[in-house]
């Protein structure tokens, strides 16, 4: 099996997590930056699957490796799963993550704070191959104030139920065992092992 894989993301946090999880299996992960590719795929899909496919498919046409893409988001129960698909765009529209945290705290005042991260990975082996999808969920809740600065995105306001710890305080290796991304990647690893 070809152990060189392209990850269709410009998100440094995601890239670091894929490398940490897949490197022990001998995979070498290339990013758009490694291949000097400047392509920003518009996420026009209405589901994580659609968006992950749009990204994987756009890059698979131009790179010589199998492609993985990752569409993910934070879903807050009391906000009807908002920001969800718009997680990244919501933070941008607020002017950055610290402002997005404050806005979410404001919207959650007096409400239940249950939430989960969701991740959908799309794998496209060759330009004419059928896309394969691997999904993972990480349940938890939104904290009352930011805690720690580890991870990326919404990690500093997320408490992970499974380990009863704040993602902003745990080390990379711990997050990479229990996160939504780790769970989706676990399924991908099983597929690769077959
Ligand atoms: P995407 O690039 O459209 O998939 O955006 C995903 C966005 O969801 C990220 O930019 C973060 O805002 C959020 N997100 C996804 N996964 C995580 C995570 O593991 N920790 C914190 N935030 C995440």
Please give the C-alpha separations between residue 109 and each of 22, 77, 102, 164, in angstroms, as whole numbers.
39, 13, 11, 22
pLDDT tier at 13, thresholds 50, 70, 90: confident
pLDDT in tens, 37-85: 999 999 999 999 999 999 999 999 999 999 999 999 999 999 999 999 9
Give the pocket of ligand 1 (CB within 6 Å).
Answer: 11, 43, 70-74, 87-88, 91, 117, 151-155, 179, 181
Q: Is the model more confident about 161 or about 17?
A: 161
Dist. CA 111 → ligand 1 center (Å): 23
State how beta strands 28-30 and 4-7 pair: parallel
- pTM for this one? 0.94
Please give the C-alpha separations between residue 5 and each of 19, 106, 170, in angstroms, as whole numbers.
10, 41, 28
User: What residue spans define the domains of the chain?
Assistant: 3-193
| Averaged pLDDT score across all residues of the chain | 95
User: For residue 138, which atom of ligand 1 is closest to its CA?
Assistant: 19
Mean pLDDT of 85-110: 98
Catalytic annotation on 71? Answer: yes
Distance from C-alpha of 182 to C-alpha of 187, rounded to nearest angstrom: 9
For residue 186, the Cα-to-chain-centroid distance in whole angstroms is: 14
What pLDDT is recorded for position 194? 59
Residues whose CB is less than 8 angstroms from the CB of residue 34 and which lie 6 or more positions away in sequence, other chains included: none
Give Dmax (Cα) for the chain: 52
Do residues 129 and 191 lie in contact, with contact meaning Cβ atoms separated by under 8 Å? no
What pLDDT is recorded for position 193? 81
3-193 sits in which CATH class? alpha beta
Distance from C-alpha of 72 to C-alpha of 11, rounded to nearest angstrom: 11
Alpha helices in 27-179 (DSSP H): 48-60, 87-94, 97-108, 172-178
Write out the two tokens for 164: 């009863």
Distance from C-alpha of 46 to C-alpha of 28, rounded to nearest angstrom: 31
């Amino acid at each position: 099996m070809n152990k060189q894989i392209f990850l269709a993301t410009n998100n440094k946090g995601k890239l670091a997590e894929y490398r940490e999880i897949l490197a022990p299996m001998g995979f070498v992960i290339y990013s758009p930056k490694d291949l000097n590719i400047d392509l920003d795929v518009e996420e026009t899909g209405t589901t994580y699957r659609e968006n992950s496919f749009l990204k994987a498919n756009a890059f698979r046409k131009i790179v010589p490796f199998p492609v993985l893409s990752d569409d993910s988001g934070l879903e807050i129960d009391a906000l009807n799963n908002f920001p969800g698909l718009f997680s990244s765009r919501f933070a941008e529209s607020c002017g950055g993550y610290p402002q997005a945290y404050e806005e979410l705290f404001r919207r959650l005042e007096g409400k239940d704070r249950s939430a989960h991260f969701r991740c959908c990975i799309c794998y496209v082996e060759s330009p004419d191959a059928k896309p394969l999808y691997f999904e993972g969920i990480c349940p938890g809740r939104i904290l009352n104030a930011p805690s720690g600065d580890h991870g990326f995105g919404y990690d500093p306001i997320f408490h992970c139920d499974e380990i009863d710890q704040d993602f902003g305080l745990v080390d990379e290796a711990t997050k990479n065992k229990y996160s939504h991304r780790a769970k989706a990647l676990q399924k991908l690893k099983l597929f690769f092992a077959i």
